Structure 1
Amino acid sequence: MNSRKLLITHPLHSSLLEKIQSTFSDWKIIHALTKDDWKEHLIDSEIIVGWKSSFDLESIIQNDQLKWIQTWSAGVNSLPLDQLSKKNIYITSANGVHSYPISETIFALLLGLTRNIHTYVRNQQTKKWDGTDIKLEAHKKTIGIIGVGAIGLETAKIAKAFGMHVIGVRNSRKATDYVDELYTSDQLNEVLPICDYVVVTLPLTDDTYHLFQKEQFQQMKKSAFFINIGRGEIVKENDLIDALTSGEILGAGLDVFETEPLHQSSPLWDLENVIITPHTSGSTEHYSSRVIEEIFLLNANHYLKEETLPLNLVDYQKGY
């Protein structure tokens, strides 16, 4: 009888591999980091840890052994969800891994824009001493967090340390810590006019695609900053550019874009009221250990007992 097989496609420290082998003691563990190494195992692995865009989809679809995919990202919109759902394959995301680094990036962007740090960094390159355009502060302001999941909650927690009024937008209006007011997504346009900062932490779904376009930016204060660390396609980028250049909003901090890498011809590069980061808000030294120890192995204990996976199980209907 062949051993059950687990395929891992991301680099892992030997200590993490040992923990996986200990949990799956009688399984064959394949640690393959290149296409040439993993392609032969796509056809018969029961569990795949790490989804790669270069996977041969046909091999995945033909694999009748495949039961579970653990992704390396919080979003799963890049996976062939329609095909995987037909095979009833479990998908678990890396949601929750990012709450510390992304919330730190959100406040780096928020404070950088507020305190004009991005301008001073540019001035430093030309040895220009100019402190004339500095007046704003973040304390006591109103922040709207669009998407109150793990990242949104950690952002709200930090916001309360600044004495900020925190408004959350999500599907449920069930009260939660650190959020002063909760609205549902169909009330978005009611929230935008009262926010000094609008922070998008949503996943990309059919419902969130181009959720922010001309109408939403027109609802925002002219003194408001827009921050997006969710997915680029949530924003109609040309409408955002128009809002930034026309003065409909004061500035933006952007980690994600409709097309990545951001094309060199994009006007966003040259706008002085924009801070751009290259989709790195979730990057952290602890990423791999959190995915394996805090999500995958905890779920694995239930999987091996043929129990429901308790953490980050993707709902195919919702798309996250």
Structure 2
Amino acid sequence: MATIYFTFEPREDLKQPLLSEFSQEDFLFDTKLDVEKLAQAEILVTYGEDLKEQHLQYADKLQWIFVASAGIEKMPAEAIAKRNIIVSNVRGIHKKPMTESILAHILALKRVLPFIYEQQQKKEWNKKARPTELNGSSALIIGPGAIGGEIGRILQAFDVHTIGCNRSGTEAPYMNETYKLDDLKQHLPKADIVISILPSTKETKHLLTREHFEKMKNSAIFMNFGRGDVVDTETLIKVLQDKLIEHAVLDVYEVEPLPSDSPLWDLDNVTLSPHFSSHSSRYVERSLDIFKPSLRKWLNGERDLENKMDILRGY
């Protein structure tokens, strides 16, 4: 019998089927990490932000951490790797809600929805805005993995030409063209929309510089839905103040929550979303759909789990 410790509690309609399906196992549920329960667990299920290095001294039995999130940058990676604890996550789970969020923002800007809402509040009949069309444009997706591929699939349905940039330059699904990340600068001038879905790693931190934005079209939309540290905040603020691009849509930031005194709040060419583009009423449901097959494997002695990660590389 394995002891499985959740540091969050799923809804009852999701929790009960889990308990029924794995009735021989010992499940512990909590709303925050408790070291006494952690000490009993072979398997930890967490969102990844509560586990600290000092907690591992109590986790003598811990063998597998299932992270119900795509990002693991707040976890004690070196300490986990030293213990040879297996880590897997829910990579790909965000692709549906995030794609819908990104598409909603793009269409809102193209079809001037913020202007429409503003005029409605003012009770004004005003046709002075200039809507544009999404079809026929080009989108450059930095990090065309599971999420980027889904974005590409939907954008292609709108007749958008998709360009992917990844580490290897190997062909990526739903990309009309794919290039190496090292060659990003030479392909930025092609794009009407630039979307970053990159994780936070040593290689991606402050990857985008002012020079990258100078290569973009003045009419470009830049969207960051990966991690906030892909671009230095002060650099991004200056780019927007200097109007090097038309607009930015940000869902992630170097410091979260975004401080109330950040100049970003006062700019009229940026849309600020509070890092919830992936949120959905189906989030935990989809997480468990990944966890349960891996748990069956684990209980059968298999260790080749879905979305198994290299904790030191960050993905």
What corresponds to 1:250 in structure 2? 246
- Ranges in structure 2 where 5+ consecutive residues have no aligned partner: none
What SS does the aligned partner of 2:155 have? helix
Q: Map of 1:199-210 to 2, 5 A cutoff? A: 199-210=195-206
Query: 1:263 is matched with which residue?
Result: 259
Deviations 1:70-117 (A, max 9, x none): 112111111111110101111111211110100011111112222222
Residue 152 of structure 1 corresponds to 148
8 Å contact from structure 1 (residues 209, 235) kept in 2: yes
Which residue of the other structure, out of 290, 295, 307, is the alignment partner of 2:302? 307
Q: State the Cα distance separating 1:69 from its structure 2 match.
A: 0.9
1:1-320 paired onto structure 2 within 5 Å: 3-35=1-33, 38-51=34-47, 53-55=49-51, 57-293=53-289, 295-320=290-315
Which 5+ residue runs of structure 1 have no aligned equivalent?
none
CA distance in 2, matches of 1:32, 1:26: 20
Q: TM-score, normalised by structure 2?
A: 0.94
- Percentage of matched positions with identical amino acids: 35
Q: CA separation in 1, counterparts of 2:293 and 2:92?
A: 14
Structure 1 letter corresponding to 2:251: D
Question: Residues 301, 288 of structure 1: CA spacing in aligned structure 2 closer, same or farther, 3 A cutoff?
Answer: same
Are the structure 2 counterparts of residues 89 and 222 from structure 1 closer, same or farther at C-alpha, using a change threshold of 3 Å? Answer: same
1:34 and 1:178, CA in 2 relative to 1: closer, same or farther beyond 3 A? closer
- The 8 Å contact of residues 164 and 172 in structure 2, kept in 1 or not, is answered as no
Letter aligned with residue 276 of structure 1: L
Structure 1 stretches of at least 4 aligned residues deviating more than 4 Å after TM superposition: none
- Read off the aligned partner of 1:263 and give its amino acid letter: P
RMSD: 1.8
1:162 maps to a residue whose letter is F
Question: 2:310 is matched by which residue type in structure 1?
Answer: D
**Counterpart of 2:11 in structure 1: which amino acid?**
H
User: d(CA) in 1 for partners of 2:81 and 2:122?
Assistant: 55
Paired residue type of 2:294: N
Secondary structure of 1:145 counterpart: strand
Q: CA deviation at 1:289?
A: 0.7
Q: Calculate the TM-score normalised by the size of structure 1.
A: 0.92
Q: CA deviation at 1:52?
A: 5.1
- Offset at 1:219? 1.1
**Residue deviations 1:121-163 (CA, integer Å, cap 9, x gap):** 3344333444323142211100001111111011001111110
User: Structure 1 residues 52 and 314 mapped into 2: Cα distance closer, same or farther (>3 Å)?
Assistant: closer
- Secondary structure of the residue aligned to 1:198 is strand
Looking at structure 1, the residues matched to 190 and 127 of structure 2 have their Cα atoms a distance apart, in angstroms, of 29
Aligned-partner SS, 1:182: strand
Native 8 Å contact 1:196 1:224 kept in 2: yes
Per the alignment, do residues 253 and 308 of structure 1 end up closer, same or farther by CA in structure 2, a change over 3 Å counting? same
Tell which deviates more after alignment, 62-71 or 306-315.
306-315
Contact 2:137 2:192 in 1 (8 A): yes
Equivalenced residue count is 315
Task: Kindly provide the CA deviation profile for residues 171-206 of structure 1, in whole angstroms up to 9, marking residues without a partner as x.
Answer: 233334321000111111112111000001111100
What do the CA deviations read for 1:215-256 (whole angstroms, capped 9, x no partner)? 111111111000011111112122112111212100011111
SS at match of 1:296: helix
Separation of aligned partners in 1, 2:10 and 2:276: 20
CA offset at residue 55 of structure 1? Answer: 4.0
Cα 1:77–1:56 shift into 2, 3 Å: closer
User: Whole-Å Cα distance in 2 between the matches of residues 130 and 61 of structure 1?
Assistant: 64
The one-letter amino acid of 2:54's match is E
